[in-house]
């Protein structure tokens, strides 16, 4: 088996696939890329058993065969080459020889049959979404998902497809983000929970992509296909909590404020907050927002006053500054509005501008009890 491929083209594809390989695999074969050659089409795959990613590359060859090549060693080697054609030849003595303009490099390989084969989806449902819409939906929600092994359903992003639109939800019980697109719809209703690792990979590959992504899914697996790449991953098993029930519907107190100004104030003031609770206090009266924090143990305290647009009763409410900062950071609008009902009910943060037609973002942040 022998093929010729451009070094930078191969490296670009392998770096994407390398993102799925774990640093400490239980099965040594998973430390390899699977190279599957069929004439002038080479399919390279990487897997961690839960997720398998494959890319199809055009190469010069008229042979067939498959081998597993050590991923780390191959990536480290390819990174050092300037752009040039490389010839891969599988030798009899269990090595793959790579020939460049200046030298030869031999790597031990394993048989292609040892590599675990990807799952075939039985009777999947299908939806098509534009790449950058999917990437935006992931990046707007994934930061809010939890890391609790005891509640695996919360450690992923909930995909909810319907004929009206697509909804993506993530929560860790302290904060919740719901991202909706009404300009894209599915042919039928479906719900599944996607794990974080494959989503992070998709986000980085699809950012800014005009390509159409085909999403196929059944009860246990989902498959994403676009351009020359496919990704199959196992879904998180379980029922997602009823998130609609925690979003308060009646919020008479509404605060509108410049996002950057608000974010910078919260950042500054939170430096003086208690290091375990990260508690900051918002005191709103008339057109004035007072942000303060105090760490009684060290006698540190800070207070800032901002002007804002506020309709509602005067109120004081406490938040964890880390959650608030994360949410404000994730929004891209110039203005944000914070809607509240009572100091012990969640606040709802929404962007005031900068969204596409049919795009909605709702962020929910739980308050912390203020100790007066």
Q: Which one has a higher pLDDT value, 187 or 78?
A: 78
Asked if residues 201 and 53 have their Cβ atoms less than 8 Å apart, the reply is: yes
143 by DSSP, 3-state: which?
helix
| CATH numbers and ranges of domains, the chain | 2-114 (3.10.150.10), 125-244 (3.10.150.10), 247-368 (3.10.150.10)
pLDDT at position 134 over 70: yes
Could you report the per-residue pLDDT of 34-75, keeping only the tens digit for each?
A: 999 999 999 999 999 999 999 999 999 999 999 999 999 999
Please give the Cα distance from 146 to 202 (Å, whole number). Answer: 19
Could you report the per-residue pLDDT of 15-26, keeping only the tens digit for each?
A: 999 999 999 998
pLDDT at position 226 over 90: yes
* CA-based R_g, the chain, Å: 25
Would you call 347 exposed, middle or buried from its count of C-beta atoms within 10 A (0-12, 13-18, 19+)?
buried
- The residue behind tokens 């699977």 is 34
Asked if residues 226 and 214 have their Cβ atoms less than 8 Å apart, the reply is: yes
Torsion of CA 151, 25, 215, 152, to 10 degrees: 0
29 by DSSP, 3-state: which?
helix
Would you call 123 exposed, middle or buried from its count of C-beta atoms within 10 A (0-12, 13-18, 19+)?
exposed
DSSP 238: S
Q: Read off the pLDDT of each residue in 275-302 and give the average, rounded to a whole number.
A: 95
- Residue 208 confidence class, pLDDT cut points 50, 70, 90: confident
Q: Which of 138, 316, 370 has its CA nearest to residue 231?
A: 138
Q: What are the structure tokens assigned to 211, written together?
A: 């390509």
Could you report the per-residue pLDDT of 308-364, keeping only the tens digit for each?
A: 999 999 999 999 999 999 999 999 999 999 999 999 999 999 999 888 888 999 999
Please give the Cα distance from 59 to 3 (Å, whole number). Answer: 6
129 beta partners: 213
Q: Which of 222, 185, 175, 177 has its CA nearest to residue 202?
A: 222
Q: What angle do CA 42, 229, 202 make, to 5 degrees?
A: 145
- Residue 372 confidence class, pLDDT cut points 50, 70, 90: low
Q: What is the pLDDT of residue 371?
A: 73
Please give the Cα distance from 279 to 163 (Å, whole number). Answer: 42
Q: Which of 85, 8, 15, 82 has its CA nearest to residue 229?
A: 15
Cα–chain center distance at 231:
14
């Amino acid at each position: 088996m022998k093929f010729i491929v451009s070094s930078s083209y191969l490296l670009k594809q392998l770096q994407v696939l390398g993102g799925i390989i774990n640093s400490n695999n239980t099965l040594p074969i998973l430390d390899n890329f699977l190279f599957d050659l069929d004439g002038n089409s080479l399919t390279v795959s990487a897997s961690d058993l839960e997720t398998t990613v494959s890319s199809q590359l055009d190469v010069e060859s008229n042979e067939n065969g498959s081998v597993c090549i050590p991923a780390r060693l191959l990536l480290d080697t390819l990174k050092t080459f300037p752009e040039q054609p490389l010839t891969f030849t599988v030798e009899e003595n269990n090595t793959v020889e790579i020939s460049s303009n200046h030298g030869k490099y031999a790597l031990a390989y394993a048989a292609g049959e040892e590599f675990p084969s990807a799952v075939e989806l039985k009777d999947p449902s299908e939806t098509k979404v534009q790449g950058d819409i999917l990437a935006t939906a992931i990046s707007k929600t994934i930061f809010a998902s939890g890391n609790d092994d005891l509640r695996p359903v919360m450690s992923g992003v909930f995909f909810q497809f319907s004929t009206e639109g697509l909804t993506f939800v993530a929560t860790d019980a302290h904060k919740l983000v719901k991202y909706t697109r009404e300009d894209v719809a599915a042919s039928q209703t479906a719900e599944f929970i996607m794990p974080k690792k494959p989503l992070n990979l998709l986000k980085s590959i699809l950012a800014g992509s005009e390509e159409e992504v085909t999403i196929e899914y059944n009860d246990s697996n989902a498959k994403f296909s676009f351009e020359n790449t496919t990704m199959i991953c196992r879904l998180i098993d379980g029922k997602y909590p009823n998130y609609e029930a925690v979003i308060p519907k009646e919020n008479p107190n509404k605060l509108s404020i410049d996002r950057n100004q608000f974010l910078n104030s919260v950042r500054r003031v939170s430096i003086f907050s208690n290091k375990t609770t990260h508690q900051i206090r918002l005191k709103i009266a008339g057109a004035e927002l007072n942000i303060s924090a105090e760490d009684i143990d060290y006698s540190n305290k800070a207070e800032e006053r901002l002007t804002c647009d506020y309709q509602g009763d005067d109120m004081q409410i406490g938040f964890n500054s880390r959650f608030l900062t994360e949410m404000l950071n994730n929004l891209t609008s110039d203005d944000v509005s914070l809607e509240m009902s009572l100091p012990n009910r969640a606040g709802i943060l929404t962007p005031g501008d900068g969204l596409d037609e049919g795009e909605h973002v709702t962020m929910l942040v739980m308050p912390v009890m203020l100790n007066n």
